[in-house]
């Protein structure tokens, strides 16, 4: 006994699949698989690292402020002038005397 092509299990499965997908948006409109999971994991990671990011931001600002302060002090301070600044310092060596 031959079965008609409309009554095979493959045809019924394909028909049920088409009916199930009829109310869903097209594949182009759907996000890629695992997209929402990756977004949720990224959000959780950012929430954990929020204190680290805050500390990093303020430590960078403090370092830049320290460098700026050091540059201002170096530019506006006058070094003590004692003679010729390019002259090499004198070194006194004890004399050895042979008796």
Among residues 80, 81, 57, 61, which one has the least CA distance to residue 69?
A: 61
Among 38, 63, 35, 58, which Cα is nearest to 50's?
58
Express each pLDDT in 60-98 by its tens digit.
999 999 999 999 998 888 766 667 767 777 777 777 666
pLDDT digits (tens, 9 = 90+) for 8-55: 888 888 888 888 777 776 666 666 678 888 888 888 787 777 777 888
Phi and psi at residue 51, to the nearest 5°: -65, -40
Which DSSP category does 6 fall into? Answer: G
pTM of the model: 0.36
Can you tell me whether residue 40 is helix, strand or coil? helix
Angstrom distances, CA of residue 57 to CA of 27, 32, 70: 42, 34, 20
Structural domain boundaries in the chain = 33-73
């Amino acid at each position: 006994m031959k079965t008609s092509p409309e009554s095979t299990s493959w045809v019924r499965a394909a028909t049920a699949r088409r009916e199930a997908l009829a109310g869903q948006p097209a594949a182009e409109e759907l996000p890629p698989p695992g997209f929402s999971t990756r977004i949720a994991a990224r959000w959780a990671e950012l929430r954990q690292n929020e204190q680290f990011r805050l500390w990093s931001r303020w430590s960078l600002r403090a370092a830049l402020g320290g460098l700026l302060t050091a540059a201002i002090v170096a530019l506006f301070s006058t070094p003590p002038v004692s003679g010729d600044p390019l002259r090499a310092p004198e070194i006194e060596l004890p004399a050895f005397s042979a008796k």
